[in-house]
Amino acid sequence: MPLAAPRFCPMPGCPELTKGERCEAHRRALYAVNDAGRGSPAQRGYDRAWRRVRALKLSIDPLCEIRTHCPKFSFGYQIATEVDHILTIRERPDLRLVFSNLRSACRSCHSARTMKDSVASKGGGGSTSPVPSTDYRRSRKFYAVAGFDGGVSRSAGNDF
């Protein structure tokens, strides 16, 4: 299989050759900017009390309770290594340490759930998004209710 030719770092003025992504210096700078805006784990709600509740949850429920992305094993369950908030801390900070709002998860299921939540919180869809499904958004009824004609002129005789 032929190798792709090296490309310049996509940051303007950077002379580093890469495989199409940012060079190491610009990648680290991007991570530093993102991490600076996140705050420390304790500021985000993951303090000593959280670590204790997390350890208790994993000891009581040691298997993944999400089971959407677990690797397939003969017994069908994966050992949980992380704890997921059913309603996120961003949605309901008062339920941060409530045991009934927690579920044990393996890494792959928790990562998938976290990604789905972060995409939904940015308006990209997901189960918690208030945006209607794709089929409904494309329907004529949606456009009529929303006040759009979907690119179709009403004067041409196309009624909804």
Q: Where are the domains of the chain?
A: 1-38, 41-129
Site of tokens 């759009």: 148
Would the pLDDT of 9 be above 60?
yes
Q: Supply the pTM of this predicted model.
A: 0.57
Q: Please measure the distance between the N-terminal and C-terminal CA atoms of the chain and give it in whole angstroms.
A: 53
Q: Which residues on neighbouring strands pair with residue 84, listed in sequence order?
A: 103
Query: What mean pLDDT do residues 113-123 have?
Result: 84
- Highest mean pLDDT among 43-52, 67-76, 95-104, 128-137 belongs to 95-104
Count CB atoms within 10 A of the CB of residue 70: 19
73 or 116, which is more confident = 116
The span from the CA of 47 to the CA of 59, in Å, is 19
104 or 19, which is more confident = 104
Site of tokens 């890469």: 18
Q: How many CA atoms lie within 13 A of 121 on its CB side?
A: 11
Q: What is the pLDDT of residues 119-155, one digit of tens each?
A: 887 776 544 434 334 443 334 443 444 444 444 444 4
Q: What is the per-residue burial (b if ≥16 Cβ within 10 Å, else e) of 5-19?
A: eeeebeeeeeeeebe
Query: What mean pLDDT do residues 76-100 have?
Result: 90
The span from the CA of 21 to the CA of 11, in Å, is 9
